[in-house]
Amino acid sequence: MPMRTLRTNNLYSSIVLVFLILWGTASFFVFSTFLNLGWVLLAVGLIAAYCAVTEQAGYFVLILITFYNSYFLYGLQSATELPLWLLLLILASVLGFTFFLLKQQFVSDNENSFLVLIFFLISMMEIYLSLSYWLINPLTKSLIMGVFSYLFAGYLANTHSDGVVDKKFYRYIYLAIIVLAALFFTVSWGQ
């Protein structure tokens, strides 16, 4: 099996994606009280960085960047009390840039990628905004953001060019419902 080579025209994209992954991973060492969790997420982050460099598993990279960087922003919000509009602007920049760099893996050429990007950004910013007012752990908030990013990636992966959604998308919905229910029932509310 031949080795995948790094194309020089995508070197910039790979560097930025690896930076976003490692930046989000570092937040688990800065804001988390569970050091072992940081090491596990560092290992997962290195796998995602490899996927970003070799241009594989773009959906996995998008979900992980959403999860890691939303954790960073929730930690930053609680540590520094930055204004919410600034955090939303940072989130939109990070996710928009990530989606833009990975769009050739998500959206076919005949689709309007700008509308898909705007829908993704608006929905993720709205979820982040609503979760900002919940009195739950930042890790749980970030997992919820990751689940909704997973749903969006599943929708993109299972939508045909004629707009018909494949029945496999229901698996994504069922798994998201199970994970969200588990999160809602196991979270410590108000702490």
Q: DSSP secondary structure string, 96-124?
A: HHHHHHHHHHHS-TTS-HHHHHHHHHHHH
Q: What radius of gyration do the chain's Cα atoms show?
A: 17
Domain extent listing, the chain: 8-186
Contact indicator for 41, 25 with CB cutoff of 8 Å: yes
Find all residues with CB under 8 Å of 66, minimum gap 6, and list them.
95, 98, 124, 145, 146, 149
Candidates 35, 7, 38, 3; CA nearest to 24 is 38
pTM for the structure as a whole: 0.85
| Dihedral sign from CA coordinates of 157, 11, 48, 97 | negative
Which SS3 state, helix, strand or coil, does residue 5 take?
coil
Which SS3 state, helix, strand or coil, does residue 70 take?
helix
Contact indicator for 137, 78 with CB cutoff of 8 Å: no
Q: What does the pLDDT profile of the chain (191 residues) look like in tens digits? A: 444 544 545 788 888 888 999 998 888 888 877 778 888 888 999 998 888 888 888 888 889 999 999 999 998 888 888 899 999 999 999 999 888 888 777 766 556 778 888 988 999 999 999 999 888 888 889 999 999 999 988 888 887 777 677 888 899 999 999 999 999 888 877 65
Candidates 55, 58, 73, 70; CA nearest to 9 is 55
CA angle 174, 180, 185 (to 5 degrees): 125
Find all residues with CB under 8 Å of 13, minimum gap 6, and list them.
101
* Cross-strand bridge partners of residue 159: 165
